[in-house]
Amino acid sequence: MIQKRNIIALLFLTSVSVFANKADNNKPYVVKANSVLMDSQQHITTYIGNVHATQGSTHLTANKVITYENKQNKITKLIAYGSPAKYDTLPDNQTKKLYASAEKIIYSPNDNLIHLRGNGFVTQSGRKLKGNKIDYNMDTELLYSAKHEKAQTTIIIPPTST
């Protein structure tokens, strides 16, 4: 049964495309929050309270966001916490926005990985995926929704119109 769910999840996301819009990478990253703690020596910035981040067509809202940067101040990891944290973007070559949410969203741009933890939800063009632990590799477009002892992965694929 697990194999069947993984195949369905893979088919679901192949039609969803990627989580991000590559053109957004060239746009400024603007973050608003109630408070900010920036540790320049450790290259860690913590945004707390009513966090809103925007980069082009990509938006993130959360209660708290922690960014980890390298010595060139490029983000190497971003963790967003919320009830839920919410993310939306217009993926490359798509006309419909992609929406994702979870209690914790972990983004690793160097590895092109996104992890949704705790009540993860992804939707685009009527397709919906819900799971407690969802991992997505933006390079390979491979999605994995791991088994959880208390909840199954749910996928909704709308009928195709003829």
Q: Which tokens sit at 62?
A: 């959360």
**pLDDT per residue over 109-157, tens digit each?**
888 888 999 999 988 778 888 889 988 877 777 778 876 667 677 767 7
CATH topology of domain 2-156: lipopolysaccharide transport protein A fold (2.60.450)
Say whether the peptide bond before residue 84 is cis (omega within 30 degrees of 0).
yes
Quick one: average pLDDT of 5-15?
Answer: 36
- Identify the CA nearest to 127 among candidates 105, 152, 159, 95: 159
| Lowest-confidence segment of 7-21, 75-89, 138-152 by average pLDDT | 7-21
Domain residues of the chain, as ranges? 2-156
Core vs surface per residue 124-145: b (16+ CB within 10 A) or e: beebbbbbbbbbbbbeebebbb
**pLDDT per residue over 101-113, tens digit each?**
999 999 888 888 8
Could you tell me how far CA 141 lies from the centroid of its own chain?
13
Q: Are 53 and 33 in contact (CB under 8 A)?
A: no
